[in-house]
Amino acid sequence: MTTQTDCKVPPAPLAQTVTLDPEGAAELAVGFKALADPNRITLLTLIAAEETGEACVCDLTEPLGLGQPTVSHHLKVLVDAGLLNREKRGTWSYYSVVPGALQDLFTTMTERTAH
């Protein structure tokens, strides 16, 4: 059974209700794509849980059971998405979570989709 409602004001065309431009959507997609892999989520949580707030790539291979090149690739994706910082010390790279980056990603998305 369907009911008909009387609308006095016609809805705005969809194009007028979009609050995210294509560039903004592409930026959000990079962040969410980076989070769309279980290994990357694990890396973020491992790094965030470190007492020092950072972790060496050399310490992240064993917990994931992956080789160093694969872990480095996942870390690069997270850095490129703006979720991790990278600092090179000698031959090793150390990673830390960008403060507020995850919150900013989710806040931007929810602000754009809230009605």
Report pLDDT digits (tens) over 47-70: 999 999 999 998 999 999 999 999
Percent of the chain with pLDDT over 70: 80
Sheet holding 92-97, edge to edge: 54-56, 92-97, 84-89
Most confident of 1-5, 8-12, 25-29, 66-70: 66-70
**Residue 72 to residue 88: CA distance in whole angstroms:** 13
pLDDT for res 6:
58
- Of the CA atoms within 13 Å of residue 23, those in its CB half-sphere come to 0
pLDDT for res 88:
94
